[in-house]
């Protein structure tokens, strides 16, 4: 019999949350205000390629009060790379205004939506007395987003690289997150969507893992966890 579960940790984007509309549409709209016309699909493709090769957004050498500005700068560079990846011949006339519009847009809760079944799953897990956290490579805008989406009251913690000093897929990310929750790796499950940074990394750190893409909706998660708990 597997150890009894005490904690469930969730990735954020792609697991609990999605953008309210395709991210490329937002980039295209912001660029269009400056008369730059690039199709939304190219923005989405370019951003995905940029993020796939980017270094994690973890700055253990910085004091806590310096991290928000560094996170914003990290994103500023990723957006600049995304412009080049979308069309190397294009120049955004006022890049700072373009970036600021994107940064502010994705800080708003209405730019996001909970994935189907998210609230039901969190409420059911809380009723079971489990410790629940979002443990994500997101930046410091996430707590405000979760509050705006009314998910924050269903969580015990929101754990980010800014607090943990490291990011997925580093095993220390999971170790430090579990220490905050007072649970051992064998007592925890990580729920995510990325095969390497979420699932493989969590298993390497000793947690069990569930791929959200294997669930019809997140409302099916409590039943899936029960089968994991009862596994030999």
The model's pLDDT over 20-71, given as tens digits with 9 standing for 90+, comes to 999 999 999 999 999 999 999 999 999 999 999 999 999 999 999 999 999 9
What pLDDT shows up at residue 226? 87
Strands, DSSP E only, in 49-162?
112-114, 131-135, 157-159
What pLDDT shows up at residue 212? 97
- Cα separation, 26 vs 16, in Å, equals 20
What pLDDT shows up at residue 30? 98
What pLDDT shows up at residue 74? 98
Whether 202 and 177 have beta carbons less than 8 Å apart is answered as no
Domain ranges of the chain: 7-16+115-229, 20-110
CATH of domain 7-16+115-229: 3.40.50.1000
Judge whether residue 100 has pLDDT over 70. Answer: yes
What pLDDT shows up at residue 227? 84
Average pLDDT over residues 184-199: 96
What pLDDT shows up at residue 225? 93
CATH of domain 20-110: 1.10.150
Question: What pTM was estimated for this model as a whole?
Answer: 0.94
Strand, coil or helix: what is 72? Answer: helix
What pLDDT shows up at residue 87? 96
What pLDDT shows up at residue 65? 93
Strand, coil or helix: what is 33? Answer: coil
Residue 176: both structure tokens together = 């430090």
Strand, coil or helix: what is 158? Answer: strand
In terms of Cβ atoms closer than 10 Å to its own Cβ (0-12, 13-18, 19+), residue 4 is exposed
- Give me the residue label for tokens 């709209």: 29
pLDDT band at 186 (very low <50, low <70, confident <90, very high): very high
Judge whether residue 12 has pLDDT over 60. Answer: yes
What pLDDT shows up at residue 90? 92
Whether 146 and 155 have beta carbons less than 8 Å apart is answered as yes
What pLDDT shows up at residue 231? 66
What pLDDT shows up at residue 4? 87
pLDDT digits (tens, 9 = 90+) for 124-179: 999 999 999 999 999 999 999 999 999 999 999 999 999 999 999 999 999 999 99
Judge whether residue 3 has pLDDT over 90. Answer: no
C-alpha 67 chain-centroid distance: 17
Strand, coil or helix: what is 210? Answer: strand
Judge whether residue 1 has pLDDT over 60. Answer: no
């Amino acid at each position: 019999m597997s150890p009894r579960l005490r904690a469930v940790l969730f990735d954020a984007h792609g697991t609990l949350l999605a953008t309210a509309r395709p991210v490329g549409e937002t980039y295209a709209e912001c660029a269009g205000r400056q008369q730059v016309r690039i199709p939304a699909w190219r923005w989405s493709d370019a951003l995905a390629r940029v993020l796939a090769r980017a270094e994690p957004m973890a700055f253990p050498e910085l004091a806590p009060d310096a991290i928000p500005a560094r996170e914003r700068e990290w994103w500023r560079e990723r957006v600049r790379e995304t412009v080049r990846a979308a069309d190397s011949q294009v120049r955004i006339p006022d890049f700072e205004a373009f970036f600021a519009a994107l940064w502010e847009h994705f800080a708003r809760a209405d730019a996001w939506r909970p994935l189907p079944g998210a609230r039901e799953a969190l409420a059911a897990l809380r009723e079971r007395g489990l410790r629940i956290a979002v443990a994500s490579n997101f930046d410091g805008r996430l707590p405000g987003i979760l509050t705006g989406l009314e998910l924050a009251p269903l969580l015990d913690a929101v754990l980010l690289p800014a607090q943990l000093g490291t990011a997925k897929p580093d095993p220390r990310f999971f170790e430090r997150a579990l220490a905050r929750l007072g649970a051992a790796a064998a007592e925890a499950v990580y729920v995510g969507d990325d095969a390497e940074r979420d699932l493989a990394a969590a298993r390497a750190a000793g947690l069990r893992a569930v791929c959200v893409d294997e669930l019809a909706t997140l409302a099916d998660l409590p039943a899936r966890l029960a089968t994991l708990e009862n596994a030999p």
